[in-house]
Amino acid sequence: MKNTLRYPVCLAGLLVTSHSFAGSDHHLYSGIDSGQASLVLPHRSRVIKAAENSLGQPALYGQWSDVMSWPVIAVHANLLPNGKVLAWDATPDDLDDDPHTTDNYTTRVSLWDPQTNIHVATNNNTNTDLFCAGSAQLWDGRVLFSGGDSGTAGANGPLSNTNIYDPVTNTWEQAPDMAAPRWYASVVALANGEMLTFAGTYDPDPIAEVFQFDKTWRRLGIQEPAGLSIDYQWMQSTPQGKVMSFGPQNTLLTIDASGTGQMTQGPLRDGFAERRYGSYAMYDIGKVLVSGGTIKDGGAASYNSSVIIDTATQQSTDTGSMNFGRTQHNLTILADGSVLATGGNTDGAALVSEDTGVFTPEIWSPDTGQWRLMNDMQIDRQYHSIALLLPDGTVLSSGGGYCGTCYEIGYEEQNAEIYSPPYLFSSGDTLADRPVISSAPDTMDYNEQFSVGTNQAAQISRVHLIKLGAVTHSQNQDQRLVPLSYTFAGNTLQVSSPANRDIAPPGYYMLFIVDNNGVPSVSKIIRVGQPLISAGSMVTNSVRSNETDEYVIEATAQDKTLQLDLSGQTAAVNLQVNGVSASGANTASCSKSGSQSYDCKLANLDATRWYVKVSASGDTPYNLQANLSAIADPDAEQPDDSDASDVVLGGGRLSGAFLAGIFGLLCWRRRVERLAV
């Protein structure tokens, strides 16, 4: 269907900023002020149904902020490790009054700071329309984008493009293409730190691929099952070490993403043949809440049903029904562990309903299994709307519109509002006294103890991690809650980190502490774990200035030799190796300057896990490859390693050798973008 916009485009004044970023045009927004790279549209919200459930009493029903104009329609939104939000829609050509032009190949992307309410245009420079791409965070906080839209003149089409956004340097990179073009694909963080992309419109072949540490994709040989709902599968890594799809189709699917992959069809999820544009949230270890949706292509009332899925047994049980049937809504895990439902419509409309938008949020309690009504939001949030938990425990609600029917009825929500849940108030509209995290680590490993300083350790009732969200099209491809056990002494909590990477895939999480009154702290964002790289695999990455990339290599009792090949490109790259075993640890540190590389060999090692740390004084690309092998026959003749650069380390030897460290150029392909229905 051809889509046209028939209203003038307004350019607001350009604000001068001292910030300078490489790789893209960046302009500063405050409110609706914008730079040349992004277009601010007049507010065209059509409030189809007036808000009715305004009960006041924020301590019982929460409170909404004023509505803020935004420079983009938040079709997609990701929370970043720096606490900012990356939001995007499509290309400026999709938003002008001529649907046939394809002069611009840059997506409108905004970087929003919740602390200052300032938007910075962060448009990608990779010739990719990121509209309806899949996205989730890599282990190091970078955002991976799978595919996008290649359509022209009112049509849609899939893209094989791979994009990466770095929130530390505020730059974009186009990585090697996927084997299959994808649109509406899901992206899932795997337990080892790799990423799985799955499905998408237009029947991609292969149906699934894995993004590896060398930034290339590995095809999986699994076949598309019958009845698969290929648009935006609801997927998460599970404590069982696999990936599970919970919908929208009714069959539970389990994927083993190792090697060439394997898919297993499980039992039916529940009694609904499909929950199209329902939503889900992994609110506890191996426990998933699913709610709402409708049959394919709409045409029937939205479901109010909710079920809980246990990933271990692959069985579901009914929980309390929502007070409203909802399609196109969002489920958001809140800072206290409850789950918020916002937006949607009750008549099952495939895109947007003129008459049945749901303004009233509701909160589900995992303790009681019941939903409780909250104060109405001010804006109708249906198709292409988002909801995202922020580090301070509030929820960003934004977007809605951006489709053929949306244009026809004037439904374009280029704005946002913030919801403060009841836990932020003590009585009436008085703000609650919140527990404070005075100290906590920046990183943590698995199955270890760490300390959290707080002003009221004895009053803390819950400690948990919530993974940074990546939300679009009623599903959040990253959010999960991981409860943590703890003890306290004085003003210090001794907290146990997640037991393993299957429970909490490596990446960035918000650490919340919650007091006896159910009031959460402002979170501390922490990097959990590190990638698990297998012997022989290549890591291709770029270490940020004054930061450290860490990897872990698992060995067996027979593996007694570790060889690491490290090459840096433009600056000094430092390598530190630490092996951990029951009987002790071996540590080696080696460094070379310039583009010289290392060939590090450590022998006679008594370790089962090897931690490898890479650091540099400046932003520096590098290649890292690890190999493990059994120790050679001690009676065999050994090579002459008498080079002056050798350093003997206990029972092992560190040997330096110069290798060329040149990266291959990343391919990019010009793509024609276009928005359609």
pLDDT in tens, 415-454: 999 999 999 999 878 999 999 999 999 999 999 999 999 9
Residue of higher predicted confidence among 364 and 657? 364
Q: Of 97-111, 416-430, 536-550, where does the model show the most confidence?
A: 416-430
Residue of higher predicted confidence among 569 and 134? 134
Mean pLDDT throughout 241-263? 95
Look at residue 97 in the predicted model and tell me its pLDDT.
54
Percent of the chain residues past pLDDT 90, beyond the cut = 62
Burial class (CB in 10 A: 0-12, 13-18, 19+), 581: middle
Q: How confident is the model at residue 333 (pLDDT cuts 50, 70, 90)?
A: very high
Residue 173 has pLDDT above 60, yes or no: yes
Distance CA 225, CA 203 (A): 12
Look at residue 400 in the predicted model and tell me its pLDDT.
96
Output helix, strand, coil percentages for the chain, rounded to the nearest 5.
5, 40, 55
Q: What single DSSP character describes residue 94?
A: G
Pairing of strands 652-654, 287-291: unpaired
Residue 216 has pLDDT above 70, yes or no: yes
Domain boundaries, the chain: 46-71+275-424, 433-528, 538-654
Residue 195 has pLDDT above 80, yes or no: yes
Phi, psi (rounded to 5 degrees) for 580: -120, 130
Which of these ranges, 44-58, 280-294, 359-373, 453-467, has the smallest mean pLDDT? 44-58
Pairing of strands 415-420, 63-64: antiparallel
Distance CA 466, CA 265 (A): 29
Q: Are 655 and 599 in contact (CB under 8 A)?
A: yes
**Which residues touch 107 (CB under 8 Å, ≥6 apart)?**
88, 89, 90, 91, 123, 124, 128, 129, 130, 131, 148, 673
Mean pLDDT throughout 494-504? 97
Residue of higher predicted confidence among 428 and 284? 284
Q: How confident is the model at residue 625 (pLDDT cuts 50, 70, 90)?
A: confident
Look at residue 592 in the predicted model and tell me its pLDDT.
58
Residue of higher predicted confidence among 9 and 3? 3
Look at residue 378 in the predicted model and tell me its pLDDT.
95
Look at residue 488 in the predicted model and tell me its pLDDT.
93
> 538-654 falls under which CATH superfamily?
GOLD domain (2.60.120.680)
Which CATH topology does 46-71+275-424 take?
Methylamine Dehydrogenase; Chain H (2.130.10)
pLDDT in tens, 588-621: 666 555 555 666 777 766 777 888 888 888 888 8
Mean pLDDT throughout 542-553? 90
DSSP string, 114-157: TTTTEEEE----SSB--TT-EEEE-TTS-EEEE--B---TT---
Q: How confident is the model at residue 536 (pLDDT cuts 50, 70, 90)?
A: confident
Mean pLDDT of the chain: 82
What dotted CATH number matches 433-528? 2.60.40.10
Which of these ranges, 329-338, 386-395, 548-557, has the smallest mean pLDDT? 548-557
Radius of gyration (C-alpha) of the chain in whole angstroms: 25
Mean pLDDT throughout 631-650? 37
Mean pLDDT throughout 39-62? 61
Reduce the DSSP state of residue 29 to 3 states and report it.
strand
Q: Are 339 and 387 in contact (CB under 8 A)?
A: no
CA distances to 321, 459, 510 from 440, rounded to whole Å, are: 38, 18, 11
Q: How confident is the model at residue 53 (pLDDT cuts 50, 70, 90)?
A: low
Residue 35 has pLDDT above 50, yes or no: no
3-state secondary structure 453-477: EECCHHHEEEEEEEECCEEECCEEC
Look at residue 180 in the predicted model and tell me its pLDDT.
96
